[in-house]
């Protein structure tokens, strides 16, 4: 898929692409932060037949809705593509020593070399969590690394 | 006593402009033609001649020009200008040749001489970026695929103005060829230096002007712009160009913030500027010029349409989009009046002012209207095809 970027002098930037089914979409990012989601006319391919104005909050919400289920799927694809790279989804159980503690306390990367790339909580994906992200029982930690390092992370999260 | 009449007159004018602006808003047209008509009504030979406020209005008008160009410059940054220049130079040149020609031809045919021809060339050349931007946004054309073409043509025109205005100023001042060449060289050098400084050291300027306090920011930006405009005028480069270059040199978030602060100020003084131009024009002189102004307007609508079609076709836009690009370029407005105002102030042919006023009246009013009326037609045709 090719995303075409065009400068709109005095207004901002436009990114556009054509979908698999032949519809053309674009996002116009205005300098002041406003975004327009633009859908082009089927019959007049240069005309925006629909331009939906989104503020910061709405744009974020849309991204999350469209993007969240894709993160785990993309990790799995990545895993398939790169040999030797493993992604695991590790649930935090009730007995884990890290329940209620910041994620950074586990010092996962220092100790194993694997990285925590996301935490799934209540169906929502928190991508790239900061070290002060507080873990909770029932969270699912998505970890990426080699086979050994990821299983070492599983041990750390369950037993300390 | 003097102050009392001054306030009464100014208050009356500005209040009247406000009412006209509200009417324009309701009718969905640009207020510029109405401001011009207001100026005609107040001024010499009008129904309400002014007694005391002309002097203030004339200074206010000059401030209006500086603020118009400053806010225009603030919309662009140096990077965008360079990219637009590189990508669309050919479309820009076609625009220049096709649309400067009608004005120059009319002036020459009427025997007004080469100086007036240069001024009239400018009057028919420049599209009003203010009105066009409003048309694009009102009709929801910002996302359209032909819009980047239109915008880059506008950028090209504005840059051309940075070279044209000093040339015009020099010619109007009646300087010799050698002195004119020096002025143009100074203008080019100034523009070059400002662009270079903006590209390389933009951060230093931003750092000097930036302030978390709106009041300080406003004072610094207006002060800097007026200072540079004055120095530019002193060098015969034209104050407007100086202000435009200051606007370009400021960039990013700062430019955005400064523009938001300046817009109310600009709106006030720009309205005063349009009135001032109307004041200087005798309404009785417009009638004899009306037919010619309409003809010139018709011809230059066709040439702008052709420009838009040409530039959009080069960018791979389909028929309907090509037509929209042409229509979007039709409105004329602030720049054309700025140019005519310079010529009138320098004592050009007495009919130049009325012709330019009539011409801009027609195209500032009709341009946006044409876009609005033709939009459904284009869509219907595209649907059927």
Domain annotation covers residue A21: yes
In this structure, are A49 and A77 located in the same domain?
A: no
Residue bearing tokens 């694997």: A114
Can you tell me the ipTM of this complex? Answer: 0.74
Domain annotation covers residue A50: yes
In this structure, are A74 and A142 located in the same domain?
A: yes
Asked if B75 lies within 8 A of A9 by C-beta distance, the reply is yes
Is-contact B208 B219, C-beta < 8 A?
no
| Closest among B304, B269, B281 to B357, alpha carbons compared | B281
In this structure, are A98 and A131 located in the same domain?
A: yes
Name which of B143, B328, B371 to mutate to probe chain A: the one with the most chain A Cβ atoms within 10 A of its Cβ: B143
Domain annotation covers residue A89: yes
Asked if B143 lies within 8 A of A26 by C-beta distance, the reply is yes
The structural domains of chain B, ordered by start, are 2-384 (1.20.1530.20)
In terms of Cβ atoms closer than 10 Å to its own Cβ (0-12, 13-18, 19+), residue B240 is buried
Q: Which of B151, B379, B382 sits opposite A10 (nearest CB)?
A: B151
Asked if A36 lies within 8 A of B321 by C-beta distance, the reply is no
Domain annotation covers residue A100: yes
In this structure, are A48 and A82 located in the same domain?
A: no
In this structure, are A76 and A139 located in the same domain?
A: yes
Measured between CA atoms, how close is A29 to chain B, in angstroms? 10
* Closest chain B residue to A37, measured at CA: B143
| Closest among B36, B37, B38, B45 to B9, alpha carbons compared | B38
In this structure, are A153 and A77 located in the same domain?
A: yes
Asked if A9 lies within 8 A of B379 by C-beta distance, the reply is no
* Residues paired with residue A102 on neighbouring β-strands, in sequence order: A134
Is-contact A127 A64, C-beta < 8 A?
no
For B54, the 3-state DSSP assignment is: helix
CA distance B155 to B92: 9
B309 to each of B148, B154, B322, B326, how far by Cα in Å?
Answer: 13, 15, 4, 6
Residue bearing tokens 């004005």: B103
Measured between CA atoms, how close is A48 to chain B, in angstroms? 5
Q: Which residues of B touch A31 (CB under 8 A)?
A: 256
- Flag whether residue A41 sits within 8 Å of chain B, measured between CB atoms: yes
Give the tokens for residue B283: 């309404």
Tens digits of residue pLDDT in B187-226:
778 777 877 877 777 778 888 888 888 999 999 999 999 9
Sign (positive or negative) of CA dihedral B56, B59, B63, B68: positive
Measured between CA atoms, how close is B103 to chain A, in angstroms? 28
CA distance B39 to B33: 10
Supply angle C-alpha B40, B45, B48, rounded to 5.
70
Helix then strand count (H, E) for chain A reads 3, 9
For A6, the 3-state DSSP assignment is: strand
In this structure, are A87 and A132 located in the same domain?
A: yes
Residue bearing tokens 């009003």: B128
Number of residue pairs across A and B with CB atoms under 8 Å?
Answer: 79
B54 to each of B49, B50, B280, how far by Cα in Å?
Answer: 10, 7, 10
Sheet with strand A24-30: strands edge to edge: A4-8, A12-18, A24-30, A35-40, A48-54
For B:72-101, CB contacts with A below 8 A are 75-76, 80-81, 83-84
Asked if A47 lies within 8 A of B324 by C-beta distance, the reply is yes
Domain annotation covers residue A65: no
Q: Which of B146, B151, B324 sits opposite A9 (nearest CB)?
A: B151
- Listed in sequence order, the residues at least 6 apart from B207 whose beta carbon sits closer than 8 Å to its beta carbon are none
DSSP A20: T
Asked if A46 lies within 8 A of B144 by C-beta distance, the reply is yes
CA distance B205 to B186: 22
Domain annotation covers residue A64: no
| Closest among B81, B31, B325, B109 to B194, alpha carbons compared | B81
- Flag whether residue A5 sits within 8 Å of chain B, measured between CB atoms: no
* Closest chain B residue to A4, measured at CA: B145
* Residues paired with residue A7 on neighbouring β-strands, in sequence order: A13
Give the range of the structural domain holding residue A39, as residue numbers without chain letter: 4-54
Asked if A47 lies within 8 A of B144 by C-beta distance, the reply is yes
A43-58 CB burial, b ≥16 within 10 A, e <16: bbbbbbeebeebeeee
CA distance B193 to B209: 19
Final residue before a domain boundary, out of A54, A78, A94: A54
Domain annotation covers residue A63: no
Q: Which residues of B touch A41 (CB under 8 A)?
A: 379, 382
Q: Which residues of A touch B127 (CB under 8 A)?
A: none
B245 φ, ψ to 5°? -65, -35
Asked if B385 lies within 8 A of A32 by C-beta distance, the reply is no
Measured between CA atoms, how close is B142 to chain A, in angstroms? 8
CA distance B117 to B128: 20
DSSP A134: B
Asked if B379 lies within 8 A of A44 by C-beta distance, the reply is yes
pLDDT interval class at A52 (50, 70, 90) = very high
Measured between CA atoms, how close is B40 to chain A, in angstroms? 33
In this structure, are A37 and A86 located in the same domain?
A: no
For B216, the 3-state DSSP assignment is: helix
In this structure, are A48 and A102 located in the same domain?
A: no
- Flag whether residue A8 sits within 8 Å of chain B, measured between CB atoms: yes
CA distance B36 to B281: 10
Q: Which of A8, A32, A45 sits opposite B147 (nearest CB)?
A: A8
In this structure, are A24 and A81 located in the same domain?
A: no
In this structure, are A24 and A85 located in the same domain?
A: no
**Distance in Å from the first CA to the final CA of chain A:** 44
Q: Is the pTM of this model over 0.80?
A: no
Type and span of the H or E element at A5: strand A4-8
DSSP B124-172: HH---HHHHHHHHHHTT-TTSTTHHHHHHHHHHHHHHHHHHHHHHHHHH
Asked if A44 lies within 8 A of B318 by C-beta distance, the reply is yes
Domain annotation covers residue A61: no
A7 φ, ψ to 5°? -80, 140
CA distance A132 to A85: 26
The pLDDT value recorded for residue A113 is: 84
CA distance A4 to A29: 13
Q: Which of A8, A44, A47 sits opposite B151 (nearest CB)?
A: A8
Asked if A47 lies within 8 A of B154 by C-beta distance, the reply is no
* Regions of chain B where pLDDT drops below 50: none
Q: Which residues of A touch B383 (CB under 8 A)?
A: 43-44
Q: Within 13 Å, how many C-alpha atoms sit on residue B277's CB side?
A: 36
CA distance A14 to A35: 10
- Flag whether residue A38 sits within 8 Å of chain B, measured between CB atoms: yes
- Flag whether residue B321 sits within 8 Å of chain A, measured between CB atoms: yes
B257 to each of A108, B151, B195, B300, how far by Cα in Å?
Answer: 44, 22, 21, 36
In this structure, are A152 and A80 located in the same domain?
A: yes
The pLDDT value recorded for residue B112 is: 92
Q: What is the 3-state secondary structure (H, E, C) of A42-90?
A: CCCCCCEEEEEEECHHHHHHHHHHHHHHHHHHHHHHHHHHCCCCEEEEE
**Distance in Å from the first CA to the final CA of chain B:** 69
Q: What CATH number corresponds to the domain at position A134? A: 3.30.70.1450
Asked if B382 lies within 8 A of A11 by C-beta distance, the reply is no
CA distance B93 to B314: 13
Query: Taking all residues of chain A, what is their mean pLDDT, rounded to a whole number?
Result: 84
Tens digits of residue pLDDT in A55-112:
888 888 888 888 766 666 666 666 666 667 777 888 888 888 888 888 888 888 888 8
CA distance A39 to B82: 29
Type and span of the H or E element at A39: strand A35-40
**Total count of domains within chain A:** 2
- Flag whether residue B146 sits within 8 Å of chain A, measured between CB atoms: yes
């Amino acid at each position: 898929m090719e995303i075409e970027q065009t400068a709109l002098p005095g207004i901002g930037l436009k990114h556009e692409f054509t979908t698999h089914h032949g519809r053309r979409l674009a996002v116009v990012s205005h300098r002041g932060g406003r975004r327009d989601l633009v859908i082009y006319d089927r019959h007049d391919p240069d005309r925006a037949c629909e331009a939906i104005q989104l503020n910061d909050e709405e744009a974020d919400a849309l991204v999350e809705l469209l993007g969240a289920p894709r993160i785990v799927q993309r990790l799995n694809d990545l895993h398939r593509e790169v040999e030797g790279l493993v992604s695991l989804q590790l649930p935090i159980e009730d007995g884990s020593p890290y329940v209620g503690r910041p994620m950074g306390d586990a010092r996962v990367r220092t100790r194993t070399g694997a990285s925590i790339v996301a935490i799934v909580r209540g169906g929502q994906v928190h991508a790239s969590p900061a070290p002060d992200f507080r873990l909770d029982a029932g969270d699912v930690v998505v970890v990426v690394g080699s086979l050994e390092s990821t299983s070492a992370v599983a041990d750390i999260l369950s037993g300390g | 006593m003097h102050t009392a009449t001054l306030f009464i007159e100014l208050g009356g004018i500005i209040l009247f402009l406000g009412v006209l602006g509200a009417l324009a808003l309701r009718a969905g047209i640009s207020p510029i033609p109405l401001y011009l008509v207001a100026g005609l009504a107040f001024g010499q030979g009008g129904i309400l001649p002014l007694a005391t406020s002309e002097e203030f209005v004339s200074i206010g008008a000059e401030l209006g020009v500086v603020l118009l160009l400053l806010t225009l410059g603030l919309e662009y940054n140096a990077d965008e200008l360079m990219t637009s220049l590189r990508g669309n130079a050919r479309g820009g040149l076609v625009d220049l040749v096709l649309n400067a020609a009608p004005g120059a031809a009319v002036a020459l045919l009427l025997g007004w001489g080469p100086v007036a021809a240069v001024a009239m060339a400018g009057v028919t050349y420049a599209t009003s970026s203010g009105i066009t931007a409003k048309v694009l946004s009102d009709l929801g054309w910002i996302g359209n695929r032909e819009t980047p073409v239109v915008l880059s043509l506008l950028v090209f025109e504005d840059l051309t103005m940075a070279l044209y205005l000093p040339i015009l100023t020099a010619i109007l001042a009646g300087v010799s060829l050698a002195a004119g060449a020096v002025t143009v060289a100074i203008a080019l050098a100034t523009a070059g230096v400002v662009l270079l400084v903006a590209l390389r050291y933009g951060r230093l300027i931003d750092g000097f002007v930036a302030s978390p306090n709106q009041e300080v920011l406003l004072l610094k930006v207006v002060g800097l712009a007026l200072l540079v405009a004055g120095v530019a005028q002193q060098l015969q480069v034209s104050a407007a160009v100086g202000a435009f270059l200051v606007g370009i040199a400021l960039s990013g978030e700062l430019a955005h913030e400064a523009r938001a602060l300046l817009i109310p100020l600009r709106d006030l003084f720009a309205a005063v500027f349009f009135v001032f131009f109307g004041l200087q024009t005798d309404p009785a002189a417009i009638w004899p010029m009306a037919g010619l102004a309409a003809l010139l307007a018709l011809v230059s609508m066709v040439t702008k349409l052709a420009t838009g079609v040409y530039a959009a076709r080069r960018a791979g836009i389909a028929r309907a989009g090509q037509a929209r690009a042409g229509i979007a370029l039709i409105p004329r407005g602030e720049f054309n009046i700025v140019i005519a105002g310079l010529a009138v102030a320098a004592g050009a042919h007495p009919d130049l002012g009325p012709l330019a006023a009539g011409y801009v009246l027609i195209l500032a009013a009709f341009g946006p209207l044409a876009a609005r009326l033709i939009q459904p037609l284009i869509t219907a045709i595209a649907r059927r095809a």
